[in-house]
Amino acid sequence: MADSVTLKAYAKINLNLDITGKTEDFHTVEMVLQAIDIYDTVSVSVADEISVKCSDENLPSGEENIAFSAAKEFFDYAVIKGGAEIKIKKRIPAAAGLGGGSSDAAAVITALNIVYETHLDDDQLMSICEKVGADVPFFINGATQLAEGKGTILTPLPDLPECAFLIIKNGNKNSTGEMYSRFDSLGEINHPKTEDLVEAICEGDIYEVAKNCENVFENLYDDAFLSVKQKLVENGALCASLSGSGPSIFGLFEDKETAKDAKDVLKEEYENIIICEPVNCGFEE
């Protein structure tokens, strides 16, 4: 049994996001999720009890961190009396709509499966992840996936063609629950065409992908907030859209060099700006 495991826990963006309905307990969604090469480093060591230490002093450590819940759910599911010392080095911007906390949680569950040699398969790991949060199961495999239902019905899709993203965290994040409540008060809106996006990904056509990157939460933001989309397109992005419920906006570029050129222009106006590329996994050792 390995005493410790360290994983790169990758972030994600929503290539699109549609809210398709509402039950008594949750909203139903259709969205295409894409893992990207921004990552936190998650180290998990065997210990007598669960502890979490996070490098970002603005984020909780201990029981308040989602990584603690992930470890607890793992031990409950595996029926193991054990503990874990969890250390998280943050690189994924927090409260940005990029799934950093969910990715950390999935990495903790995977690392515990390794260090405790429980040999749980992906379906079992995703069952544990679902108990922690609806966004967490995606990160077990990452890459490109269609997510439906409450976000936990996952269908793998082909990898994106060569491309790059420029992500700008534009302001502060509202709670996801608040954003769903505000969405419920909207009238008729145009919904993203998820089927068209999936078809474009399956055909490997990045230009058609760009035409179908839409997010219904953009209906809750004003033109001043969304003006960054236009600036990304003016600087070479094939399209620009919101990730998750915000506040990050990404531009999709044909290649990394074009994205770098755009960053050189936009970094004078926006402080929180990152270039990244798609990855075909959720985490790596």
24 φ, ψ (degrees, to nearest 5): -65, -25
State residue 1's pLDDT score: 62
Domains contained in the chain, number:
2
Distance CA 140, CA 138 (A): 6
Same domain, 16 and 147: yes
pTM of the complete model: 0.95
253 φ, ψ (degrees, to nearest 5): -120, 155
Distance CA 273, CA 250 (A): 9
Task: Based on the residue annotation, tell me whether 12 is a catalytic residue of this protein.
Answer: yes
Q: Which of 95, 125, 157 finishes a domain?
A: 157
**pLDDT tens per residue, range 65-113:** 999 999 999 999 999 999 999 999 999 999 899 999 999 999 999 999 9
Same domain, 215 and 118: no
**pLDDT tens per residue, range 17-34:** 999 999 888 899 999 999
* Residue 32 lies inside a defined structural domain of this protein: yes
Q: Which residues contact 249 (CB under 8 A, 6 or more apart)?
A: 167, 168, 170, 226, 228, 229, 232, 240, 241, 242, 243
**pLDDT tens per residue, range 170-196:** 888 888 888 888 888 887 888 999 999
Distance CA 105, CA 167 (A): 23
Q: Which of 8, 18, 135, 263 is catalytic?
A: 135
- What is the number of helices (H) and of strands (E) in the chain? 9, 11
Helix (H) or strand (E) holding 1: none
Distance CA 145, CA 139 (A): 10
CATH code where residue 60 lies? 3.30.230.10
Q: What is the mean pLDDT of residues 27-45?
A: 97
Q: Which of 12, 169, 229, 263 is catalytic?
A: 12
Q: Which of 157, 190, 215 finishes a domain?
A: 157
Task: Based on the residue annotation, tell me whether 131 is a catalytic residue of this protein.
Answer: no
Question: Average model confidence (pLDDT) for the chain?
Answer: 95
Distance CA 208, CA 260 (A): 22
Structure tokens at 125: 């790991």
* Residue 129 lies inside a defined structural domain of this protein: yes
Same domain, 63 and 89: yes
Give me the domain span that covers residue 113: 4-157
Q: Which of 157, 190, 224 finishes a domain?
A: 157
